[in-house]
Amino acid sequence: MADEQRRSSMAVVTREVNGPLTVEQIQLTAPGPGEVRVRIEAASLCHSDLSLSTGVMAQTRPAVLGHEAAGVIVELGPGVTDLAIGDPVLLLWNPPCRDCWFCDHGEAHLCEHAADRGQRPYAHDEAGTPIYPGLSTAAFAEQTVVAANACYRLPEDIPLAEAALLGCAVTTGVGAVRTTAGVAPGESVVVIGLGGVGLSAVQGARIAGASTIIGLDRVEEKLELAKRLGATAALPAGPEARKQIRDLTQGRGADHVFDCVGLAATIKDGWKMARRGGALTIVGIGGKTEVVDFTSLELFYFARRILPCVNGSLDARRDLPVYFDQVRSGELDLKSLVSREIDLSGVAEGFRDLAEGTVARVLVRPNS
Ligand SMILES: [Zn+2]
Ligand SMILES: [Zn+2]
Residue 12's pLDDT is: 97
Mean pLDDT of the chain: 96
Q: What is the pLDDT of residues 263-292, one digit of tens each?
A: 999 999 999 999 999 999 999 998 889 999
Residue 165's pLDDT is: 97
Ligand with an atom nearest the CA of residue 361: 2
Does one domain contain both 248 and 158? Answer: no
Residue 326 lies in a domain: no
Assign residue 162 a region: left if phi > 0, alpha if psi is -120 to 50, beta otherwise? Answer: alpha
Domain extent at residue 263: 171-310
Does one domain contain both 163 and 271? Answer: no
5 band by pLDDT with thresholds 50, 70 and 90: confident
Beta strands in 195-249 (DSSP E): 212-217, 233-236
Does one domain contain both 189 and 216? Answer: yes
Q: How far is the CA of 301 from the centre of ligand 2 (A)?
A: 35
pTM: 0.96
Q: How far is the CA of 5 from the centre of ligand 2 (A)?
A: 31
Q: What is the pLDDT of residues 305-317, one digit of tens each?
A: 999 999 999 999 9
Residue 324 lies in a domain: no
CB 88 within 8 A of CB 167: no
Does one domain contain both 157 and 182? Answer: no
Q: How far is the CA of 236 from the centre of ligand 1 (A)?
A: 41
Does one domain contain both 159 and 177? Answer: no
Spatial neighbors of 129 by CB under 8 A, at least 6 apart, are 62
Residue 93's pLDDT is: 97
Domain holding 200: CATH number? Answer: 3.40.50.720
Does one domain contain both 189 and 281? Answer: yes
Does one domain contain both 54 and 130? Answer: yes
247 band by pLDDT with thresholds 50, 70 and 90: very high
Does one domain contain both 360 and 222? Answer: no
Residue 329 lies in a domain: no
The sign of the CA dihedral 224, 230, 235, 239 is negative
Instruction: Evaluate if residue 1 carries a pLDDT over 80.
Output: no
Rounded to an integer, the average pLDDT of 41-52 is 93
Residues around ligand 1, an ion, CB closer than 5 A = 96-97, 100, 103, 111
Q: What is the pLDDT of residues 117-145, one digit of tens each?
A: 999 999 999 999 999 999 999 999 999 99
4 band by pLDDT with thresholds 50, 70 and 90: confident
Domain holding 351: CATH number? Answer: 3.90.180.10
Residue 360's pLDDT is: 86
CB 339 within 8 A of CB 316: no
Sheet holding 212-217, edge to edge: 233-236, 212-217, 188-192, 254-259, 274-282, 305-308
Rounded to an integer, the average pLDDT of 220-243 is 95
Q: Percent of the chain scored above 70 by pLDDT?
A: 100
Lowest mean pLDDT of 173-182, 185-194, 350-359, name the range. 350-359
Does one domain contain both 179 and 163? Answer: no
Q: What angle do CA 247, 253, 256 make, to 5 degrees?
A: 130
Rounded to an integer, the average pLDDT of 203-224 is 96
Does one domain contain both 348 and 305? Answer: no
67 φ, ψ (degrees, to nearest 5): -140, 5
Q: How far is the CA of 22 from the centre of ligand 2 (A)?
A: 21
226 φ, ψ (degrees, to nearest 5): -60, -40
Instruction: Evaluate if residue 111 carries a pLDDT over 90.
Output: yes
Q: How many domains does the chain have?
A: 2
Residue 318 lies in a domain: no
- Crossing angle of helices 196-208 and 220-229, rounded to 10°: 30
Does one domain contain both 194 and 134? Answer: no
Does one domain contain both 120 and 182? Answer: no
Residue 325 lies in a domain: no
Q: What is the pLDDT of residues 59-83, one digit of tens each?
A: 999 999 999 999 999 999 999 999 9
